[in-house]
Amino acid sequence: MKSDPKEKFYSISDLASEFEISPRSIRFYEEKGLISPSRTGGNQRIYDKRDRARLKLILRGKRFGYSLEEIAEMIGMTDAEIGEVDQIEASLAYGEKKLREIRDRIEELRFLERDLVSVKHKLLKRLDELEREGTEK
């Protein structure tokens, strides 16, 4: 366990409850090397503020659609020598890529919306024609 008596520690159930995820998810991120909690003498996981912050970043990255590999690079887990500047630059590069993907998807959805509205109008027009023909007979 870490030595600073003023530092706050968290159990796996504390973090699971706070972030509304399963303890299994937290263990999975540990297995992938994204977080590395300390252990008690009884081998129980103990998470500190740094682990909690990393978990928060992992979950945010997942919410934004990043892969675990991308998240690992952004939070500096892939290269032990990565500095903060490199970490920020990697995060910015991934962010730009994700923004391009989102903007492309938005444009695709706009095209789809226009197509659907066009088809809807054609179908409504045809339905109206058919209904008028039916009342004329």
Given this model, what pLDDT does residue 2 score?
47
Mean pLDDT of 55-82: 81
Total count of domains within the chain: 2
41 and 89 share one domain? no
99 and 57 share one domain? no
- Which CB contacts under 8 angstroms, 24+ apart, belong to 61-65? 64/98, 65/98, 65/101
CB 13 within 8 A of CB 59: no
The C-alpha atoms of residue 46 and residue 29 are separated, in whole angstroms, by 14
Residue 7 sits in which domain range? 1-66
Residue 129 lies in a domain: yes
- With CA atoms as reference, report the closest residue to 37 among 19, 15, 57: 15
Given this model, what pLDDT does residue 136 score?
75
The C-alpha atoms of residue 137 and residue 132 are separated, in whole angstroms, by 9
Among 66, 91, 107, where does a domain finish?
A: 66
Mean pLDDT of 63-91: 77
Contacts with 56 (C-beta within 8 Å, 6 or more apart), sequence order: 19
2 and 60 share one domain? yes
Given this model, what pLDDT does residue 111 score?
97
Q: Give Cα separations from 105 to 63, 99, 108 (angstroms).
A: 16, 10, 5
Among 13, 38, 66, where does a domain finish?
A: 66
Q: What is the 3-state secondary structure (H, E, C) of 70-100?
A: HHHHHCCCCCCCCCHHHHHHHHHHHHHHHHH
For position 26, which CATH number holds? 1.10.1660.10
Q: What percent of the chain has pLDDT over 70?
A: 91
Given this model, what pLDDT does residue 120 score?
98
| pLDDT tens, position by position, 91-113 | 888 889 989 999 999 999 999 99
